[in-house]
């Protein structure tokens, strides 16, 4: 009897273990499946929320006309694709020089004369003398400028209609000379068209443009890079080509001046918030900012100085 009772207890214990093991396995499987499903659902929900948030941010940027800009801690940030700035007004449509018109007229006359020679029995000499072209009626393009280095001022009409005025361009070239060496370069007339279009879009055609920097010789450019490394002078600056000017316009915020230049998509635009000027050139279309880190440092220093002053005065 005792032996049979022992067998019965052992059998019951084994059956209980098997049943408990099966129950645990059956319970654990759906529990793990539920946990994985919850994690997957949470991840999907989080991803969807991020997508919705990004979409909302993009929609807001489009609605306000502001492009999303990734913040950077570098002192100088370059952008291959400038921000889209909406500012309507005059477009940059380059004109022509009188000699280009004369060359075109001469080429046309020569073509007509050559055609006549093919049918004429006696060849007549073909005239190749250039024809002087004087700008006729049309819209006058005027610029008013002052040079911060030389103290000189210039108020000049450099173009009428589609035709540039060579004598006026010569005066502009001299006005924008390297003030350190007095060297002069032939500026691209398109640069003046860019300045004129900017002033037109700002509604400031009668206002004065302050010239911070015009032409720079390679020697001057190298000296600036060596002696003033924190000014952001480029090694291959467009200033050396007569393709760039650094400007200010009294009464116009530097950021707004930058936006006027960006809206033209006519070349490079550099924004210098600390030095308070905008670089405008007719090179490749691009955009950059220089001095943001220095500006933050300066503002922080001014705040500390102000706090110390208040503490000293017992405020």
Which pair of structure tokens corresponds to residue 282? Answer: 């007719």
- pLDDT, position 236: 85
The answer to whether position 256 is within a domain reads yes
Higher pLDDT, 300 or 241: 241
User: CATH number, domain at 287?
Assistant: 3.30.1380.10
- pLDDT, position 139: 95
**Which value, in Å, is the radius of gyration of the alpha carbons in the chain?**
37
* Helix H or strand E encompassing 203: none
| Residue located via tokens 């000499």 | 125
The answer to whether position 29 is within a domain reads no
Average pLDDT taken over every residue of the chain: 74
Residue 152, pLDDT above cutoff 60: yes
Residue 169, pLDDT above cutoff 60: yes
> Which pLDDT tens digit goes with each residue over 92-146?
999 999 988 877 665 555 554 444 544 444 333 334 333 445 566 899 999 999 9
Residue 231 and residue 274: Cα distance in Å, rounded?
A: 10
- pLDDT, position 132: 46
Q: Residue 162 — pLDDT band, cuts 50, 70, 90?
A: very high
The answer to whether position 110 is within a domain reads no
* Helix H or strand E encompassing 97: none
The answer to whether position 52 is within a domain reads no
Cα–Cα distances in angstroms (integers) from residue 265 to residues 197, 281, 283, in the given order: 11, 11, 11
Lowest-pLDDT choice from 47-51, 135-139, 170-174, 193-197: 47-51
The answer to whether position 249 is within a domain reads yes
Domain region containing 279: 140-298
> Which pLDDT tens digit goes with each residue over 46-85?
444 443 444 444 444 344 333 333 333 334 455 556 677 7
Alpha helices for 65-208 (secondary structure H): 98-119, 166-175, 189-201
**Residues of the chain above pLDDT 70, percent:** 58
The answer to whether position 198 is within a domain reads yes
Residue 213 and residue 233: Cα distance in Å, rounded?
A: 11
E-strand stretches of the chain: 76-79, 140-147, 153-160, 163-164, 209-213, 244-248, 268-272, 277-281, 286-290
Full-model pTM: 0.62
The answer to whether position 5 is within a domain reads no
């Amino acid at each position: 009897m005792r032996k049979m009772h022992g067998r019965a207890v052992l059998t019951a214990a084994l059956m209980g273990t098997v049943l408990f093991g099966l129950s645990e396995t059956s319970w654990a499987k759906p529990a793990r499946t539920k946990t994985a499903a919850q994690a997957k659902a949470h991840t999907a929900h989080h991803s969807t929320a991020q997508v919705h948030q990004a979409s909302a941010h993009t929609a807001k940027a489009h609605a306000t006309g502001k492009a999303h800009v990734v913040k950077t801690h570098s002192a100088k940030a370059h952008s291959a694709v400038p921000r889209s700035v909406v500012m309507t007004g005059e477009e940059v449509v380059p004109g022509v020089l009188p000699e280009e018109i004369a060359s075109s007229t001469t080429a046309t006359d020569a073509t007509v004369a050559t055609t006549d020679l093919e049918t004429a029995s006696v060849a007549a000499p073909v005239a190749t003398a250039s024809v002087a072209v004087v700008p006729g009626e049309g819209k006058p393009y005027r610029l008013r400028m002052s040079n911060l280095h030389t103290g000189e001022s210039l108020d000049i009409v450099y173009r009428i209609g589609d035709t540039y005025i060579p004598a006026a361009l010569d005066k502009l070239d001299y006005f924008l000379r390297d003030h350190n060496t007095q060297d002069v370069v032939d500026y691209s007339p398109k640069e003046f068209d860019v300045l004129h279009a900017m002033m037109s879009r700002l509604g400031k055609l009668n206002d004065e443009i302050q010239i911070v920097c015009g032409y720079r010789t390679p020697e001057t450019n190298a000296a600036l890079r060596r002696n003033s490394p924190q000014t952001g002078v480029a090694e291959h600056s467009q200033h050396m080509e007569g393709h760039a000017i650094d400007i200010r316009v009294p009464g116009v915020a530097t950021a707004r001046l930058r936006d006027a230049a960006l809206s033209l998509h006519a070349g490079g635009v550099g924004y210098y918030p600390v030095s308070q000027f905008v670089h405008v050139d007719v090179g490749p279309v691009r955009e950059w900012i220089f001095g943001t880190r220095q500006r933050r440092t300066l503002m922080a220093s001014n705040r500390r100085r102000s706090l110390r002053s208040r503490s000293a005065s017992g405020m």
